[in-house]
A and B are shown apart, each in its own frame.
Chain A
Amino acid sequence: MDMVFLSKYYKFFINGTGITLFLSLFGVIFGVIIGVFLALMKMSKKSFFSMIASAYIEIIRGTPLLVQLFIIYIGLPKVTGIPFTDLSIGIIAVSLNSAAYVAEIIRAGIQSIDKGQMEAARSLGMTHSMGMRLIIIPQAFKNILPALGNEFIVLVKESAIVSVIGIHDLMYNADTVRGISFKPFTPLFIAAIIYFIITFSLSKLVGILERRLRAGDSNI
């Protein structure tokens, strides 16, 4: 890998990284929002809601993201009649997929909190939602942070799959550079380094946040 190569093609990598970050960021945001709803549905006492959420989670987890992506890519514009851009298809597919995993992480986190906590909250006259908001979720959030961070890292890496529908993300652009430079190896190597820098920073960031949140209740 020489400087001439980099100075010639660096724009491809920068643009690709931008798209990958953009896609991952929105994937995470929508994934968490949808995931929270799915988790609440799955924990609902009404079996109608919990069954829908369970079925959704099982289907998403039981089928490859690649298949889901193509189904949405071809199916969604057909069913709705709306000409979605490729990028929005990518975001939709990634967030719908991530939501299922996030939902399971959140559900496990909430259920890991001792039920005495909610009982204590209710015994003080709090409503169920107040107990959730003030007592359960803040404690659950601390517990699920590592798993959630891990899910975000997975999402950044898995987002490379959207290159197959022609989104110009980091993976796609690395492939493009391979084609026009006649170098089969170097672009992949650079892409790998960039992916690693993103995920490594992300995991450090989550670590810092985790330590900060734990500051309150250490000193046992």
Chain B
Amino acid sequence: MIQISDLHKKFGELHVLKGINEHITQGEVVVIIGPSGSGKSTLLRCLNLLEHPTSGEIVFEGITITDQRNDINKLREKMGMVFQQFNLFPHKTVLENITLAPINVKNIKKDEAEKIAFKLLDRIGLRDKANSYPNQLSGGQKQRIAIARALAMSPDVMLFDEPTSALDPEMVGEVLDVMKELAGDGMTMVVVTHEMGFAKEVGTRVLFMDEGKVVEKGSPEEIFCNPKNPRTKDFLAKVL
């Protein structure tokens, strides 16, 4: 579904991604872990071109997204993204946050878009917040709305950029529950996270990144119970 070949990203002199090769298939939940500054988020943000790779190629559903001739806006409709800082639109109600893109990008009728939105709100248990504004919500509620907003475009893959890192500890659970449910429904997911419990429980594959490279990859059991690379061992010893 997503094929990444020899991906490099430089910010000026700083070489953040040093040749990433990866294949993500339908239905996988790929969890990317690693120390901060290892390039995890940059890799994720390259997947929908929020960052433009310096070189290399990304192919999504048979279309080369790194080729400038392809319409990135069309491709982004199929890739939902959830941010660390939620990035809800503060001047719009919860319902408008969810329906804005379907109405304006996909040209879905308003009542149709609202029907979809209410279905999603039911799923995350926040139907009663439809007419609230984002700053009336808790962090956990905001992030669940942000997930619903991305899902409203019915994407084929969901990208999560440290979705629980900005949350108070007691709110992490409710967001992870929504993500687990999503994984259970067979959604293809790429998740950058520090939640090792989530990686173990939900991940179908774990990538460990360090200094711009995927140092080790494998099933959660392989990575967490029997890491081979010394840097993986070192990292896991610190966080577990």
Q: B48 interface residue, CB < 8 Å from A?
A: yes
A 116-135 contacts with B by CB, 8 A: 116-117, 119-127, 130, 134-135
Q: Cβ of A216 and Cβ of B83 under 8 Å apart?
A: no
- Please tell me which one of the listed residues B76, B85, B91 contacts residue A124 in the complex, with CB atoms under 8 A apart: B76
Q: Knowing A123-B80, A123-B81, say if A130 contacts B87 (CB, 8 Å).
A: no
Q: Complex formed: what's the CA distance from A32 to B87 in Å?
A: 29
Residues of A contacting B135 in the complex (Cβ-Cβ under 8 angstroms): 217, 219-220
Q: Complex formed: what's the CA distance from A1 to B66 in Å?
A: 77
Most chain B CB atoms below 10 A, which of A117, A120, A126, A220 = A120
Q: Cβ of B133 and Cβ of A116 under 8 Å apart?
A: no
- Please tell me which one of the listed residues A119, A124, A219 contacts residue B149 in the complex, with CB atoms under 8 A apart: A124
Q: Cβ of B76 and Cβ of A116 under 8 Å apart?
A: no
Q: B74 interface residue, CB < 8 Å from A?
A: yes
Q: Complex formed: what's the CA distance from A125 to B76 in Å?
A: 5
Residues of B contacting A138 in the complex (Cβ-Cβ under 8 angstroms): 91
Q: Cβ of B74 and Cβ of A125 under 8 Å apart?
A: yes
Q: Cβ of B76 and Cβ of A120 under 8 Å apart?
A: no
Q: Knowing A125-B77, A125-B105, say if A120 contacts B136 (CB, 8 Å).
A: no
Q: Cβ of B90 and Cβ of A126 under 8 Å apart?
A: no
Most chain A CB atoms below 10 A, which of B79, B85, B91 = B91
The interface on chain A, measured as residues whose beta carbon lies within 8 A of the other chain's beta carbons, has a size of 22
Q: A139 interface residue, CB < 8 Å from B?
A: yes
Q: A211 interface residue, CB < 8 Å from B?
A: no
Residues of A contacting B76 in the complex (Cβ-Cβ under 8 angstroms): 122-125
- B238 to chain A: closest CB distance in Å? 29
Contact digits for A204-220, partner B, Cβ 8 Å, 1 yes 0 no:
00000000000011011
Q: B73 interface residue, CB < 8 Å from A?
A: yes
Q: Cβ of A116 and Cβ of B81 under 8 Å apart?
A: no
Q: Cβ of B91 and Cβ of A217 under 8 Å apart?
A: yes
Residues of A contacting B133 in the complex (Cβ-Cβ under 8 angstroms): 216-217, 219
Residues of A contacting B146 in the complex (Cβ-Cβ under 8 angstroms): 120
Q: B153 interface residue, CB < 8 Å from A?
A: yes
Closest to A116 in B: B87
Q: B68 interface residue, CB < 8 Å from A?
A: no
Residue numbers of B with Cβ under 8 A of A are 48, 50, 73-74, 76-77, 79-81, 83, 85, 87-91, 100-101, 104-106, 133, 135-136, 146, 149-150, 153
